[in-house]
Structure 1
Amino acid sequence: MWKIIKPPLEYAKEVKYRPVLESLVPLDPISQLTLNRGSPEEEFPDLKRNGTVMARILTLSMYKRQYNRATDSGVIFDDVIRPGLEDPAPGQATGPAAVGCLAGDAQSYILFCSFFDRVIEAHQGYNMSGSQESDFNYDNLKGGDDFDSAYTQGCEVRVSRCVEGFSFPTHCSRGERRQLCTLAKKAFGQLREEFPGKIHSLGDLTQSMLGDAVTMETATEPRMKTGVARDWPDSRTAWVSKDGDLVVWVNVDDHLQLVSARTDSNIRKAFESVCVHLKKLEALYRKLRHSFIWKQHLGWVVSSPADVGTGLRASVWLKLCHLPLHKRLGNILERLRLHMDTADCSGVYRVSNAQTIGFTEVELLQLLVDGVKLLTVMERALEQPDGSIDHLVPAQK
């Protein structure tokens, strides 16, 4: 015999207050949007010829999970993957820019974590179950001021930061961008006495103001396609130190990007300049109640998953003839955790840290310094008639 199931009891107070409680439930941001789009199956992008990390990671089932989500500022998943779909040469993406996706805001990394975590793991070879640490004590760096000048032809240390409470460049509004510019001017104004310098609008800035080592930032085609260069050069500025030792770009690829470049390859000095200025700027922004974005599992959060963790890209330009042609070069670079840009065949190659997460800033610089010295030794060995480098190949760093 079937058992009669009684409906659940309703209490008077529950009936009275339920509408009130339901009205307090936060609305899903995407419910506020009216998007003229089809089903996930109809909207899933064609990734057959796409060479980005995003294309290797993204599946239809993953796309379905992210499809009906939006951050509080209105970033949807299609906004995140659009940079990889706008790549002018989808099958040839190389280097750090090959991730094929950009976060629209800090919340993107949380809301779309199942996607971003896989991209970071695939691109940087890092297990996302770990936690990130930061170390800007440049005194802990060993070497960096003693490269062989016969092989090195310049260096650069570049660190990116994003500010709490603002969308990232691909998604921010003109008003947000102008607020960030005003905030930067206020911070640099307070920095003036300790670190003299001048802030310039990108519309007024010339290469001669930057010196020989730092390259002018422009509205490149990739930046235009991803939306980073919208309204260029409105509210894009650069702070240039009086001694020309440091340039801070505002509202270019990230909210702030500190660049110290040198022609003498003294990367230790470049790193010290970035560390000293960055720590001071961090304190000033915190004082202005707009801290730099930090998450324990991600470290310093910036717009590209290729740069999260430390936000640091350090590079040394090496003059090489024999090593770039060696069959084991790829394996050597992988073991050293370094990246070499071999697209330019002029004989001078840019060597930089392959990952930005899983190591502190000092540790990443140490990997680069030690790696550049070893590559120089290998190049010198290959210059000999019977030169071999098999005995120099290192274990995995």
Structure 2
Amino acid sequence: MLRSQRKWMKFKSPLEFPKEVKYKPILESLQPIDPMSRFNLHRGSPAEEFPYLRDNHTYMGHILTLHLYTRQFNRATESGVMFDDIIRPGLEDPGQATGPMAVGCLAGDAQSYILFCDFFDRIIDAYHDYKITSSQESDFNCGNLKGGDVLDAAYAVDCEVRVARCVEDFCFPMHCSRAERRKLLSLAEKALTKLSEEFPGKLYSMEELSQDAGGKGLAMMTPTPAMVKIGVARDWPDARAVWESQDGQLVVWVNFEDHLKLECSRTDANLQLAFDCICLNLLKLESLYKTLRHPFVWKEHLGWVVSSPAEVGTGLKASVTVRLQHLPNHKRLENVLDRLRLHLIPTDKPGLYRATNAPTIGFSEVGVLQLVVDGVQLLICMEKRLENHGGIDDLVPTHKLSGYTDKS
């Protein structure tokens, strides 16, 4: 918080109203300057600037009204993030009528979630089915996860756990400057070099990977059209890098959709081991970034704050590739997934689907993994029933759950 802001917050108005005229100039001089007052934007009224949202299949498009837009219209964060920047992703990519609905918005910095809370709280409520009423809990005790190492290998093919983090005092990728991005890379180099002393690995710049992608054992990643449209891929590949552990277990992406993204992929479905790897190394990196005086962004009511409101809270996504032949065509599948809080996404291989958690907030890290473990176990149980021409109605949860016990 700026020094002038702290003074302003401590300043108390005089009790004698006749002196109000005398003190008014002092109060106004101490009041924080609205960043929007410094801009000379040639914009119309909120009604004239209101975006076209017909056929927009994002949460942003469904939630945003002229009244809500008007309340955000003349606001900007201290780094210059405006509300139109926030909603641009959903305008550039309005989504499709089928499949999981995207949030359609991104934060430009951590302050965006505070200044535009009127909007973001509605998005989080709708997307995660979670009202922000209490503190977000965090739990990296891997031993609290149950059943992550016993998924049926005949159906559960492989798994992945990834977690995003953003660094305090920096704008998020959609809005950051070149200098910020390069500084973030410098911090990552220092932290990952220290990590490599205990867990051997190497950092590769995107320039290196573009010259010899095959030789490094890493897939060369190019920015998607969506990343280009919303500004995440500006100046590509400048200051983007990938760190890979020597044993290939862990990959860390630097300056992509978030400042950091850790990813552990396994060729089996042992979510327990994948989660162990993520937790151990994430906690080490968190400590290293604190030592560098740039901790990860944490807000008590939101948890770990990242670019997308679809991932705030834990920043964690876990998925299992499941072999399903009958369940995807069942009439109650959508109802089942909604109550299990899972998304089921088709892969490019027939009969294989990715089951992943829908919410990331309102659950601890262990809670998110438990959702996936219990949900996948139930999907497999249902698939077995259908293979034997049985019914699954008795297996369908009666309400949305934070976990599920196999009833078979």
Q: TM-score, normalised by structure 2?
A: 0.90
| SS of residue paired to 1:204 | helix
Q: Where in structure 1 do 4 or more consecutive aligned residues deviate above 6 Å?
A: none
> Residue 92 in 1 paired to residue 97 in 2?
yes
**Where do 1:52-201 residues align within 5 Å?**
52-87=58-93, 90-92=95-97, 94-95=99-100, 98-201=102-205
Q: Provide the residue aligned with 1:5 in structure 2.
A: none
Whether the 8 Å CA contact 2:347–2:354 is kept in 1: the answer is no
> Residue 346 in 1 paired to residue 359 in 2?
no
Distance 1:9 1:333 in 2: 64
**Where do 1:377-388 residues align within 5 Å?**
377-384=381-388, 386-388=389-391
Deviations 1:16-42 (A, max 9, x none): x76555333321111111111110000
Deviations 1:131-175 (A, max 9, x none): 210001101111211121111221100100000000001000101
Whether the 8 Å CA contact 2:137–2:363 is kept in 1: the answer is yes
Distance 1:84 1:251 in 2: 21
> Residue 363 in 1 paired to residue 370 in 2?
no
Q: Provide the residue aligned with 2:12 in structure 1.
A: none
Q: CA deviation at 1:370?
A: 1.1
> Residue 31 in 1 paired to residue 37 in 2?
yes
Distance 2:153 2:137 in 1: 33
Seq. identity, %: 60
> Residue 232 in 1 paired to residue 236 in 2?
yes
Whether the 8 Å CA contact 1:210–1:240 is kept in 2: the answer is no
Whether the 8 Å CA contact 1:99–1:119 is kept in 2: the answer is yes
Whether the 8 Å CA contact 1:298–1:357 is kept in 2: the answer is yes
Deviations 1:337-377 (A, max 9, x none): 11111475721100000100000010111111111111111
Structure 1: which 5+ runs fail to align? Answer: 1-7
Q: Provide the residue aligned with 1:258 in structure 2.
A: 262
Whether the 8 Å CA contact 1:135–1:361 is kept in 2: the answer is yes
Whether the 8 Å CA contact 1:308–1:357 is kept in 2: the answer is yes
Whether the 8 Å CA contact 1:159–1:258 is kept in 2: the answer is yes
Q: TM-score, normalised by structure 1?
A: 0.92
Q: Provide the residue aligned with 1:209 in structure 2.
A: 216
Whether the 8 Å CA contact 1:210–1:247 is kept in 2: the answer is no
Q: How many residues align?
A: 381
Whether the 8 Å CA contact 1:314–1:365 is kept in 2: the answer is yes
Distance 2:257 2:42 in 1: 30
| SS of residue paired to 1:259 | strand
| SS of residue paired to 1:318 | strand
Distance 2:329 2:216 in 1: 38
Distance 1:119 1:185 in 2: 34
| SS of residue paired to 1:78 | helix
Distance 1:18 1:161 in 2: 43
Q: CA deviation at 1:208?
A: 5.5
Distance 2:337 2:26 in 1: 61
- One-letter amino acid matched to 2:386: L
| SS of residue paired to 2:331 | coil
Q: CA deviation at 1:247?
A: 0.3
Deviations 1:225-262 (A, max 9, x none): 11111111110001111111100000001000000001
Distance 2:385 2:98 in 1: 32
Whether the 8 Å CA contact 1:381–1:389 is kept in 2: the answer is yes
Distance 1:233 1:249 in 2: 13
- One-letter amino acid matched to 1:43: E
Distance 1:26 1:387 in 2: 66
| SS of residue paired to 1:350 | strand
Whether the 8 Å CA contact 1:337–1:367 is kept in 2: the answer is yes
- One-letter amino acid matched to 1:209: K
Q: Provide the residue aligned with 1:51 in structure 2.
A: 57
Q: CA deviation at 1:179?
A: 0.3
Distance 1:217 1:262 in 2: 19
Whether the 8 Å CA contact 1:324–1:342 is kept in 2: the answer is no
Q: CA deviation at 1:210?
A: 4.2
| SS of residue paired to 2:262 | strand
- One-letter amino acid matched to 2:375: G
> Residue 40 in 1 paired to residue 46 in 2?
yes
Structure 2: which 5+ runs fail to align? Answer: 1-16, 402-408
Deviations 1:38-82 (A, max 9, x none): 100000001111010001110000000000000000000000000
Residues 99, 334 of structure 1: alpha-carbon distance in 2 compared, 3 angstrom cutoff: same
Residues 164, 21 of structure 1: alpha-carbon distance in 2 compared, 3 angstrom cutoff: same
RMSD, aligned CA: 1.8
